[in-house]
Amino acid sequence: MTLVGGPFLIVSVVAGIAYGAVLQFRPSGLFRTSVKTAAVGALAVWAWMAGAPPLLTGALALSAVGDAFLAGDPERWLPPGLGSFLLAHVLYTALFLEIGGFGAVMHDPARLAPVAVASLVGTAMVVWLWRDLGAMRPAVAAYVLAIVAMVGAAFTLDRERVAAMAGAVAFMASDGVLSWRLFKHKGATAPVADHAVWWLYWGGQTAIATAFLL
């Protein structure tokens, strides 16, 4: 366990709960964006102060940037937000493979099962959304490929980092619900779905961070 920078975990918890319980349903603004960004941004600061692998710090920081973009108007800020999260998934994938690696799969073929499930879900997601994506088709397809790779890489980690595996799955589940909100259920209210997006996302990021920092 590392206590260096640990208070930033508390900042993340406070910001995550404040945004998820109240602020996500308020109009966009500087305060709302700041709190949303702080929920994962504080995890990035914690990772940096604790001397965590730079790939973890970078992935969390890029995710916080993506949160800042997506706190605004999706019509305007979705592309850069998507790009930030795509890069975060690339860093997470590199981190997981650096610490785990394909050798773990060779020694435990059962790990291929969640990888196969993630691949099927990702493919089904792209097919389901295809007609509604318009000009975003290439970007969304690339993003789904990146998150499937991230989930697959998470399952090469040692079993003691099961929190990171669960966090990767939660992250992908959050993106699945978010894609429905962005492309299938535009504009209409869906508080249950919105809660699912946030709590799965922030919970997933927190699980990944704590898997390497606690």
Cα(41)–Cα(58) distance, integer angstroms: 10
pTM for this structure?
A: 0.94
Question: Which of 59-68, 70-79, 140-149 has the lowest average pLDDT?
Answer: 70-79
Under 8 Å CB-to-CB from 52, ≥6 apart: which residues?
Answer: 212, 213
- Number of domains present in the structure of the chain: 1
Of the candidates 40, 46, 38, 42, the one whose C-alpha atom is nearest the C-alpha of residue 5 is 46
Under 8 Å CB-to-CB from 80, ≥6 apart: which residues?
Answer: 69
Q: What pLDDT is stored for residue 186 in this prediction? A: 80
In 10 A of CB 177, how many CB atoms? Answer: 20
Name the residue range of residue 158's domain.
Answer: 7-213
Q: What pLDDT is stored for residue 82 in this prediction? A: 95
pLDDT by residue (tens digit) across 151-186?
Answer: 999 999 998 999 999 999 999 999 999 999 999 988
Q: Is residue 2 part of a domain?
A: no
Q: Is residue 101 part of a domain?
A: yes
Q: Is residue 67 part of a domain?
A: yes
pLDDT by residue (tens digit) across 11-31?
Answer: 999 999 999 999 999 999 999
pLDDT by residue (tens digit) across 108-139?
Answer: 888 889 989 999 999 999 999 999 999 999 99
Q: Is residue 155 part of a domain?
A: yes
Q: Mean per-residue pLDDT for 192-200?
A: 97
| Residue with tokens 């699980």, as numbered in its chain | 207
Q: Is the pLDDT of residue 2 over 60?
A: no
Find out whether 87 and 98 touch, Cβ atoms under 8 Å: no
Helices 137-154 and 162-183, axial angle in degrees (round to 10): 160
- Helix, strand, coil tally for the chain in percent (to 5): 85, 0, 15
Q: Is residue 55 part of a domain?
A: yes
pLDDT by residue (tens digit) across 47-60?
Answer: 999 999 999 999 99
Percentage of residues in the chain having pLDDT higher than 90: 83
Q: What pLDDT is stored for residue 199 in this prediction? A: 98
